[in-house]
Chains A and B, each alone.
Chain A
Amino acid sequence: MSAPLHFQTIAELSAKLAAGQLSAVELTQAIIARTKAIEPRVHAFNSFDEPAALALAAASDTRRSAGQSSGALDGIPVGLKDVIAVAGQPLTASSKMLANFVSPYDATVTQKLQRAGAVLHGRLNCDEFAMGSSTENSAFGPSSNPWDLTRTPGGSSGGSAAALAAGAAVATLGSDTGGSIRQPAALCGLVGLKPTYGLISRYGLIAYASSLDQIGPFARTVEDAAIMLGAIAGHDPRDSTSFKTAIPDYRAELKTRRSPWKLGVPKEYFGAGLDPEVGAAVEKAIAFYRSQGCEIREISLPHTQYCLDTYYIIATAEASSNLARYDGIRYGHRTSAAKDLLDVYQKSRAEGFGDEVKRRIILGTYVLSSGYYDAYYLRAQKVRTLIRQDFLNAYREVDALITPTSPIPAFKLGEKSADPLAMYLCDIYTIGVNLAGLPALSLPCGFTQSGLPIGLQLIGQPFREADLLATAHSYEQAHGWNTQFPSL
């Protein structure tokens, strides 16, 4: 028996669209109906454009009937994290600062998805300016985890994960600066891919920490993630950090690339703070790979304990610089209580930004300020070199790394929101990847006894997403975690 339409994959739905068993308008109507049913409980969306979605779906059907379908994504409803620009649509970053902002242009990934025929139907909730691990920093209220509505879907791309897990999209995009795709994917039982830094254009992505930010997909299956990645990857002259590299057919490669692989298990990722049920599920996954003929080797990433501090210096420094553009002058919130120009800046920013954004701007300004730059920022950049070398050394011995994605399953809304440091520790296994610029994905590897999803992280080598996806695919094919759905 196949799953309800709203829980089916891109691969399944595109086959039905191609066979004429389903129209894009019917599919989009089903997703809209599902969204209306779950949204009061999940709050995954910041905005939703029903007429635009139906028009895109109708255009897709017209293309298809003329024999001009654009491929696997043509007619598929895809949601975007509300930090990715779509011309003429709201773009808020879940901030009061941009509550009324309408994007004057498209992000490159938006154009690529539109060219692929995707039906971009809504913009998804997140932590304000992508800063957080629970969506509780959204100025418009948190999202809920579809597996347990009293819990967080994770963050910062929590709405992207919650919408997909609840069946309100067929795939979504998020952004990952320290784990913001992989951690919510783990907490919501989804595949989430953070590509190599430079594989995806950041043009049109609201900047948080520019040397760490990367856009990537959420999907129900590894195959769907491969389809999405193929649609958005590639060099873009409008992002000078995007790489000129050949883009393989990631979906086709799933069928041709095979293990065995040498997989490294970094011992530092299995220490204190790891939930026993999460640890046990990851150990089982490691045992699976061993049973498939993979060589499993324990390795060490000796500077792991410094990742969190290095990240919070570099990310906040870059954020304080990036967010200086919100000055109340050209766009965004402007205070009505200012006496002079300095007052406009200070009050507009104080009124427009929430607590976590203010904390990070202050921390970033401090570590960059005269007298502290060498002790904090420059030192963190040097430790970043050591962290990156740890990974590159490991790849002399092994092909990929296998770890938990998040030390804990989904936590209760409100549980950590008063303690920033406790929230930061949610990212302990994901941030090293961003500092080193590596690709990594999270995929479901089981459930806790109370029914919460558990995520497995696979970390790959630069620009070798095809290998990473193939490794994940072989595990997914032998398990069936992604055929279970939340009951809501």
Chain B
Amino acid sequence: MSQPAELNIDRVAELSRLALTPEEKTRFAAQLGSILGHIEQLAKVDVSGIEPTAHAFPLNNVWAADVAQPGLAVSAALLNAPAQRDHMIVVPKVVD
């Protein structure tokens, strides 16, 4: 199936922060085109006057006492850091 005009795979990949290969772009665009073709049938449903559902059982105003709770120890928080030094996560240089 060809890529629908509106799915700009380059743009969506950029928004998704995914570096895709040209082969992946072609393949995903075709597969997503077919899925979006299926999804188009939702346009047929009359939803006028219908409220959206974000959760099946919405709970509003769930309060917790404003009291400090113990958090993760530094060693636990850094347990999975790809790179660390002096109790901090090392990241690539962002300013030249």
Q: When the two chains form their complex, are residues B17 and A385 in contact, meaning their CB atoms are under 8 A apart? A: no
A376 to B42 CA separation, bound complex (whole angstroms):
8
Known: A303-B45, A350-B20. Is A382-B52 also a contact (CB below 8 A)? yes
Q: When the two chains form their complex, are residues B64 and A362 in contact, meaning their CB atoms are under 8 A apart? A: no
- Please tell me if B5 contacts chain A, counting CB pairs below 8 Å: no
B18 neighbours in A (Cβ, 8 Å): 346, 349-350, 353, 358, 361-362
Q: When the two chains form their complex, are residues A340 and B47 in contact, meaning their CB atoms are under 8 A apart? A: no
A466 to B64 CA separation, bound complex (whole angstroms):
30
- Name the one of A101, A104, A197, A379 contacting B47, with C-beta atoms under 8 angstroms: A379
- Name the one of B28, B39, B77 contacting A104, with C-beta atoms under 8 angstroms: B77
Known: A306-B45, A330-B89. Is A381-B52 also a contact (CB below 8 A)? yes
A165-205 interface code vs B (CB 8 A; 1 in, 0 out)? 00000000000000000000000000000001110000000
Interface of A is mostly: helix
Q: When the two chains form their complex, are residues B19 and A329 in contact, meaning their CB atoms are under 8 A apart? A: no
A476, chain B: closest CB distance, angstroms: 28
Complex: chain B residue closest to A102, CB-CB = B79
Known: A328-B82, A329-B91, A366-B12. Is A382-B51 also a contact (CB below 8 A)? yes
- Name the one of B12, B38, B54 contacting A365, with C-beta atoms under 8 angstroms: B12
Complex: chain A residue closest to B91, CB-CB = A329
Q: When the two chains form their complex, are residues A437 and B42 in contact, meaning their CB atoms are under 8 A apart? A: no
Known: A303-B45, A365-B16. Is A104-B59 also a contact (CB below 8 A)? no
A362 neighbours in B (Cβ, 8 Å): 9, 12-13, 16, 18, 28, 32
A362 to B28 CA separation, bound complex (whole angstroms):
9
Known: A101-B80, A363-B32, A386-B50. Is A309-B42 also a contact (CB below 8 A)? yes
- Interface hits, A312-343 → B, CB 8 Å: 312-313, 320, 324, 327-334, 338, 340-343
- Name the one of A104, A340, A376 contacting B72, with C-beta atoms under 8 angstroms: A104
Known: A313-B39, A347-B19, A366-B7. Is A358-B28 also a contact (CB below 8 A)? yes
B47-65 interface code vs A (CB 8 A; 1 in, 0 out)? 1001111111101001010
Q: When the two chains form their complex, are residues B32 and A386 in contact, meaning their CB atoms are under 8 A apart? A: no
A405 neighbours in B (Cβ, 8 Å): none
Complex: chain A residue closest to B51, CB-CB = A385
Among the interface residues A240, A324, A366, A424, which one has the most CB atoms of the partner chain B within 10 A?
A366
**Number of A-B pairs, beta carbon distance below 8 Å:** 164
- Interface hits, A351-371 → B, CB 8 Å: 353, 355, 358-359, 361-363, 365-366, 369
- Name the one of B34, B45, B52 contacting A378, with C-beta atoms under 8 angstroms: B52
A345 neighbours in B (Cβ, 8 Å): 17
Complex: chain A residue closest to B24, CB-CB = A358
A382 to B6 CA separation, bound complex (whole angstroms):
23
- Please tell me if A48 contacts chain B, counting CB pairs below 8 Å: no
Q: When the two chains form their complex, are residues A385 and B57 in contact, meaning their CB atoms are under 8 A apart? A: no
A395 to B41 CA separation, bound complex (whole angstroms):
27
Q: When the two chains form their complex, are residues B80 and A104 in contact, meaning their CB atoms are under 8 A apart? A: yes
- Please tell me if B94 contacts chain A, counting CB pairs below 8 Å: yes
- Please tell me if A475 contacts chain B, counting CB pairs below 8 Å: no
A468 to B81 CA separation, bound complex (whole angstroms):
44
Complex: chain A residue closest to B37, CB-CB = A421
B14, chain A: closest CB distance, angstroms: 8
A364 to B68 CA separation, bound complex (whole angstroms):
35
B74, chain A: closest CB distance, angstroms: 11
Q: When the two chains form their complex, are residues A308 and B38 in contact, meaning their CB atoms are under 8 A apart? A: yes
Listed in ascending order, the chain B residues whose CB lies under 8 Å from chain A are: 6-7, 9, 12-13, 15-20, 24, 28, 31-32, 34-36, 38-39, 41-43, 45, 47, 50-57, 59, 62, 64, 72, 76-77, 79-83, 89, 91-92, 94
Listed in ascending order, the chain A residues whose CB lies under 8 Å from chain B are: 100-102, 104-105, 196-198, 211, 237, 240-241, 243, 303, 305-306, 308-310, 312-313, 320, 324, 327-334, 338, 340-347, 349-350, 353, 355, 358-359, 361-363, 365-366, 369, 372, 375-376, 378-386, 388, 420-421, 424, 435-438, 462
Q: Can you report 6 residue pairs joining A to B where beta carbons are below 8 Å apart?
A: A329-B91, A349-B16, A362-B16, A384-B52, A421-B34, A437-B57
Which 8 pairs, one residue from A and one from B, show the smallest C-beta to C-beta distance? A437-B56, A381-B52, A331-B80, A334-B82, A104-B76, A346-B19, A382-B47, A350-B19
Extra 6 A-B pairs, beta carbons < 8 Å, given A104-B72, A372-B6: A104-B80, A306-B45, A313-B39, A365-B15, A384-B53, A420-B34
